[in-house]
Chain A
Amino acid sequence: MKQYVLQRFLQMIVILFGTSFIIFFLFAILPGDFIDSNISLTPQRAQELKSLYGLDQPILHRYLNWLGNALHGDFGYSLKHQEKVLSLLNKYVWNSFFVAIFALILTWSIALLTGVLSAIKQYSWFDGAVTFLVFAAMSFPSFFISLLFIKWFGVDLQILPIGGMIETGSENTGVSYLLEVGKHMILPVTILTLLSVGSLTRYFRTGMLEVIRLDYIRTARAKGLKERVVIFKHALKNAILPAITLLAFELPGLFSGAIIMEQIFNWPGVGRIQLESVSFRDYPVLMAFTMFLSCLTIIGNFLADVTYAAVDPRIRLR
């Protein structure tokens, strides 16, 4: 086990180097950079700025330069925001994270419950209704359903704010600040949940349906156990094992921000920073953020393998 962790750790380092190289080169070979997009500069001034930012040097040189700084924990300044990249990301990433984590918890709880219930009551009216609703929720485009909800709850009923994270000019602190943010969070979280709950519900339903037909479930019933124990202990543990992998893949998603939702609800999340960094060729932000997500993806994979081995006795890591 120790050896496995060590081995995976070394692999992770190699993969991260590879990823950073590929990302850096892919963006560097795209025509244009941060200076080119500013047409108000004279050619002379543009040239000065380019050499100031080091944009006139060869790609490999720039990459090694970036890598050397990054290894010292220095991810540079954002060209657009003129702020340290780390403090910039730190400011926005948590806004996205809290929306994502609530949506994740909601999605998984709802999906688990409805998936299991519709499996044990297969083809009942409940199963039919759940199937209908999850497919309906899945098939709406997110921008449409977001606008619809803004109209219903924000404009018609006026019970929820139509966007933003706090009221304009609000100076609340402490609990009242949290309540205010919470109120603004309801719609974004609901939308994200609606969009992702469907596939997961179907996933749990299928997993459960496969398991409850197996011999050991019959054995559990033959032992005279309560139906509740048969389903929620014996069947569920087997049915949710494969979902651990899915859960681990959600890890980068927690921090990556939801671009469409953040645009529509005017949520100050990191998704928008990411989009801007691509369109303005803000390399320091782009590189730091992409590397952060790669790290999380790799860690998520690693965690999936380790937890899977911990909960499924048939798997041994070597």
Chain B
Amino acid sequence: MSEMLLEVNHLVTNFHTENGIVQAVNDVSFSIREGETVCIVGESGCGKSITALSLMQLIPENGKVESGEILFAGNNLLQLTKKDIRRLRGNEIGMIFQEPMTSLNPVFTIGEQMIEPIMEHLFLSKKDAYKKAKELITMLGMPNAEKIIQLYPHELSGGMLQRIMIAIALSCNPKLIIADEPTTALDVTIQAQILDLLRDIKKEFKTSILLITHDLGVVAEMADYVVVMYAGKLVEEGPVLELFADPKHPYTKGLLQAKPVIGERKERLYTIAGQVPNLTDLKDGCYFADRCEHVQGICRKKQPDLTDVGQHQKTACWLYKEGAR
């Protein structure tokens, strides 16, 4: 077993809005080993991105990490000073965002934006930083690096920009890359290329990846370990093969059923009825109770904890609690 790189314990992130407190991340724990890819899966608005941004402490101003700890290589990130966090960002943790088209500054060239973290964290001269930027571009399979660094973001396609974002995230040899829905805004062929790229990076540099997605196809392709989130809570986790072969939580089952299978024609794709609940007024019981096919009395009264089911799998559902009913 390789070393533990990141451990998130009981993370709680709230947003203070006019309509009350939104519990975006509610007691979430998971961990990532060196060289491992962990996927966080869930519908839109269930706290995946905020979990990722909480790690980097980049959550919007009205949000706050209330409690928990984030251990990165042994240090609790929540206790670091602003300066130390800044030294970590882009250096030991690289981040890739959902919208490559808006994630780069429109008034600076690709080169100018690429050399910034290199000069800031690796203390290279401007000339060496440009050289490194060109190497990175070439490494990520883009021809004509010399020209690309002189272009502005609007002159490149979404797929190219996402490669540039990956290049920026990689530039300081980070131990962890957080990719927040890196392929959602791209078309399918480009998606596959970007995923291949991330896989190669993982193989070559032994970088750990935290991948956030709602696309189970991406999970199946990329993940070693899967964390399923629902309404800010962790509902199921386990190694990818076990989880896909034998999902336990009704939500995970629903997600897997809702996934189209190639070569199979269906009249209608399965959907999970209902919507993610409003995070400002959550009820006492299991948050999924209203949409669950197996709902029972206790589900509406008390929240289930995460318990072991199977060898490495854990789920938070009353169906698997002995003696409950």
Contact = CB atoms under 8 A, between A and B. Distances in A.
Interface of A: 214-216, 218-227, 229, 234, 237-238, 241, 311-314
A78 to B, nearest CB: 49
B146 interface: no
A216 B104 contact: yes
B256 interface: no
A226 B106 contact: no
A229 B89 CA distance: 14
B152 A222 contact: no
Interface in B61-102: 86-91, 94-95, 97, 99, 102
Nearest to A216: B105
B116 A225 contact: yes
B86 A215 contact: no
Nearest to A212: B61
Contacts of B104: 216, 219
Contacts of B116: 220, 223, 225, 229
B185 to A, nearest CB: 11
A117 to B, nearest CB: 16
B102 A216 contact: yes
A314 B152 contact: yes
B58 A218 contact: yes
Contact of A222 (B95, B102, B109): B95
Given A224-B121, A225-B116, A225-B120, 19 more contacts: A215-B102, A216-B102, A216-B105, A218-B103, A219-B97, A222-B90, A222-B95, A223-B116, A224-B117, A224-B120, A225-B117, A227-B86, A229-B116, A234-B105, A237-B107, A238-B107, A311-B107, A313-B107, A313-B152
Given A218-B97, A313-B152, A224 B90 contact: yes
Interface of B: 56, 58, 86-91, 94-95, 97, 99, 102-109, 116-117, 120-121, 152, 154, 165, 168
Given A218-B58, A222-B58, A314 B86 contact: no
Contacts of B107: 237-238, 241, 311-313
A37 to B, nearest CB: 56
Nearest to A220: B105
B113 to A, nearest CB: 8
Could you say which of B91, B99, B106 has the most chain A C-beta atoms within 10 Å of its C-beta?
B106
B90 A223 contact: yes
Given A222-B56, A223-B120, A225-B116, A216 B106 contact: yes
A219 B104 CA distance: 7
Contacts of A221: 58, 89
Contacts of A227: 86
Given A218-B97, A313-B154, A314-B152, A224 B106 contact: no
Contacts of B106: 216, 238, 312-314
6 contacts: A218-B58, A222-B97, A224-B121, A241-B107, A312-B107, A313-B152
Contacts of B168: 219, 223
Contact of B86 (A216, A226, A234, A313): A226
A219 B103 contact: yes
A222 B63 CA distance: 17
A238 B117 contact: no
Contacts of A220: 105, 116
Nearest to A241: B107
B181 to A, nearest CB: 13
A219 to B, nearest CB: 5
The 6 closest A-B CB pairs, nearest first, are A224-B90, A224-B89, A223-B90, A313-B152, A215-B102, A223-B117
Nearest to A123: B61
Contacts of B86: 224-227
A216 B100 CA distance: 9
A234 B154 CA distance: 16
B55 to A, nearest CB: 11
Given A216-B102, A218-B97, A234-B105, A224 B91 contact: yes
B102 A224 contact: no
Given A241-B107, A312-B107, A215 B90 contact: no
A238 to B, nearest CB: 6
B90 to A, nearest CB: 3
A65 B108 CA distance: 53
Contact of B102 (A214, A223, A225): A214
Contacts of A218: 58, 97, 103
A314 B109 CA distance: 11
Given A312-B107, A314-B152, A314-B154, A224 B99 contact: no
A234 B112 CA distance: 11
Contacts of A224: 86-91, 117, 120-121
Could you say which of A220, A224, A227, A312 has the most chain B C-beta atoms within 10 Å of its C-beta?
A224
A232 to B, nearest CB: 13
B154 to A, nearest CB: 5
Contacts of B97: 215, 218-219, 222
